[in-house]
Amino acid sequence: MFIPLTLFGISLIVFSMIGMLSPYQRLATFISNPDRLKSENVDQLIDMYGLNDPIIVQYVRWLRNLFQGNLGWSYVGKTPVLQAIVQRFPYTLELTLFSAIPIILIGTWMGVVSALHHNRPLDHSLRIFAVIGWSFPDFVFGLFVLMILYSTLGLFPPGNLSIWAEQVVKSVGFKSFTGMVTIDSLLNGRLDVFIDSLRHLFGPVLTLTYVELAYILRITRSSMLEVLRRDYVRTARAKGLDEKVVINKHAKKNAMIPVATVSGQTIVGLLAGTVIVEAIFNRTGLGSFMALAAQQLDYASIMGGTLFFGLILIVGNLLVDISYAYIDPRVRLE
């Protein structure tokens, strides 16, 4: 399959970028801020970590470790890279899944309503509402949400869990099945922990939802508009079928085909794009991990993380393509 080849390509591009850095720049991984610059002789660190070796040598070293299953040590995560990724990924996945549901549901619903009221006030206002969300950098909206939900109302705090809930999760009796607290807490029968983690998810989910649903709305709307003009819809109407049936039974189903593709892409995109929301709501996830790794030029983390993301994106897109073929009967015939 082309997956290993693509992954190899990713690693090559990323490593060559890192390779263009000077040893002193790379030193920032070990001396991460001015207060940690305490010694006159930092060249010893450069030698210890092989920062002066030619890029090829460093790359080969990394590859060799990779084939032994060792992704290296993450200085940003302070654990081995693989462990750092595995620990953080469930949080990003959880956030993505809990956001994807409202994004898709609300987005398609608004898109259909918009199409049905084409060019009338409702259509325009819905579209502008959505586009405003999409025009806003997510950190601005996120802080705004934090301000209202937490500072003013005090109901939806940042972070993953409250202190008491965290202790429950870390206690011996709590079994971790998926790493996602919401699902795990239900599986463990702890409704209180489940609710607590929902509380902490509410803010980030709200932010992501508003910011992303414009795209789904737009696609649904245009797809719906296109379908509504199709011959078979006109035929159904001519046959005298109830308008509601026409819409729900015939139009919507066919309109959803491109939406399914886009939804899949949105989910996959969300997985990689939660950096900012994670920073503001202080959630530990892969996004903030990668951002920190990039800032500190922690090459092992960057390489491991991009490979991981690459894998997810490729697999995710593949799944989307396959499901597209499955849903759209026209494609299947090819």
Partner 1 sequence: MRSENRRIIKKFFFNTSSIIGFSLLGMFIIISIFAPWIAPPKEGKNPYMMPIVTWSSNPQPPSPEHPFGVAGKRDIFYGVIWGTRTAFQVGIIVTAISTLIGLFIGSVAGYYGKFIDEVLMRITDVFLAIPFLVAALVLTTILGSGLDKVLIAMTVFGWMYPARLIRGNILQAKEEQYVMAAKALGVRNLFIILRHVLPNTIFPVLIQASMRMGSLVITAAALSFLGVGSPQGYSDWGALLNYSRNWMLGGQGEALRYWYMTVFPGVAMILFVLSWNLVGDALRDVFDPRLRV
Partner 2 sequence: MKKFLIFTVLFVFILGISIAYAEVKNPDTYVYLHIGEPDTMDPGYTYDSASGEVLTFIFNNLISYKGGNLQEFVPVLATEVPSVENGLIKDDGKTYIFPIRKGVKFHNGNELTPEDVEYTFERNILFDPANGPQWMIIEALFNYQTLDDMVADKLGTPLTEIVNEDGTLKNPDDANKLIEFYNKEIDPAIEVQGDTVVFHLVRPFAPFLYILPKHAYWSSILDKETCIEWGCWDGKAENWWKYYNVKKESSPLYDKANGTGPYKLAEWDRTQQKVTLERYDGYWGEKAKLARIIDWGVDEWSTRRAMLEAGDADQIYCPLQYLDQVKEMKDVTIEEGERITVTTMHFNWTIDKTSDFLGSGTLDGNGIPLDFFSDEHCRRAFCYAFDYDTMIKEVLMGYGKRIPSVIPSGLLGFNTDLPMFEFDLDKAKEEFQKAWDGKVWENGFKLTLLYNTGNEARQTACEMLKENIESLNPKFKIEVQGVQWPNYLDAFKSGKLPAFVIGWIADYPDPHNFIFTYYHSKGVYGGTQGEAFLKFARENLDKRIEAAIAETDQAKRQVMYEEIQKIAYENALGIPFYQPGEVYPMRNWVKGWEFNPIQSGEANFDGVYKAE
Binding residues (CB under 8 A) for partner 2: these are 21-22, 24-28, 30-42, 44-45, 47-49, 73, 75, 77-79, 84, 87-88, 102, 105-106, 109, 143, 146-147, 150-151, 154-160, 162-164, 170, 192, 195-196, 198-199, 202, 279-282, 284, 295-297
Minimum CB separation from partner 2 for residue 199, in Å? 5
**Phi/psi of residue 80, each to 5°?**
-60, 150
Residue 163 interacting partner from partner 2, partner 1, none (CB closer than 5 to 8 Å by kind): partner 2
Q: How far apart are CA 25 and CA 84, in angstroms?
A: 23
Q: Which of 267, 224, 266, 229 is nearest to 248 (CA)?
A: 224
Q: Which stretch binds partner 1 (CB under 8 A): 2-10, 78-86, 95-103, 177-185?
A: 2-10
Helices (H) and strands (E) in the chain, counts: 17, 2
Site string for partner 1, 144-183 (x = CB under 8 A): x-xx---xx-------------------------------
We find the least distance from the C-beta atom of residue 143 to partner 2, in angstroms, to be: 6
Q: What is the 3-state secondary structure (H, E, C) of 85-152?
A: HHHHHHHHHHHHHHHHHHHHHHHHHHHHHHHHCCCCHHHHHHHHHHHHHHHCCHHHHHHHHHHHHHHH
| By the rule CB under 8 A, 331 interacts with partner 1 | no
**Residue 79, SS3 per DSSP:** strand
* Rounded CA separation 43/311 (Å): 36
Q: Which residue has the tokens 């992954």?
A: 7
**Binding to partner 1, residues 306-325 (CB under 8 A):** 306, 309-310, 313-314
Q: Which is nearer to partner 1, 165 or 285 (CB)?
A: 285
Is 195 a residue that touches partner 1 (CB under 8 A)?
no
**Residue 17 exposure: Cα atoms within 13 Å on the Cβ side:** 12
- Which one of partner 2, partner 1, none is in contact with 79 (Cβ closer than 5 to 8 A by kind)? partner 2
Cβ-based burial of 85 (10 A; exposed 0-12, middle 13-18, buried ≥19): buried
Nearer to partner 2, 59 or 281 (CB): 281
Measured CA to CA in angstroms, residue 333 lies from 149, 157, 261, 327, 329 at distances of: 50, 51, 18, 12, 7
Shortest Å, Cβ 285 to partner 1:
12
We find the least distance from the C-beta atom of residue 246 to partner 2, in angstroms, to be 18
Least distance from partner 2 to the Cβ atom of residue 314, Å: 26
Q: Residue 190 or 200: which CB sits closer to partner 1?
A: 200
Closer of 19 and 80 to partner 1 (Cβ): 19
| Per CB under 8 A, 125 contacts partner 1 | no
User: CB under 8 Å to 145, separation ≥6 — which residues?
Assistant: 203, 206, 207
Evaluate whether 286 touches 88 at the Cβ level (below 8 Å).
Answer: yes
33 binds partner 1 (CB under 8 A): no
122 near partner 1, rule: CB under 8 A = no
Return the sign of the alpha-carbon dihedral for residues 301, 302, 306, 309: positive
Which residues in this chain contact partner 1 in the complex, by CB under 8 A?
Answer: 2, 5-6, 9-10, 13-14, 17-18, 20-21, 25, 119, 124, 127-128, 131-132, 134-140, 143-144, 146-147, 151-152, 222, 225-226, 229, 272-273, 275-276, 279, 290-291, 293-295, 297, 302, 305-306, 309-310, 313-314
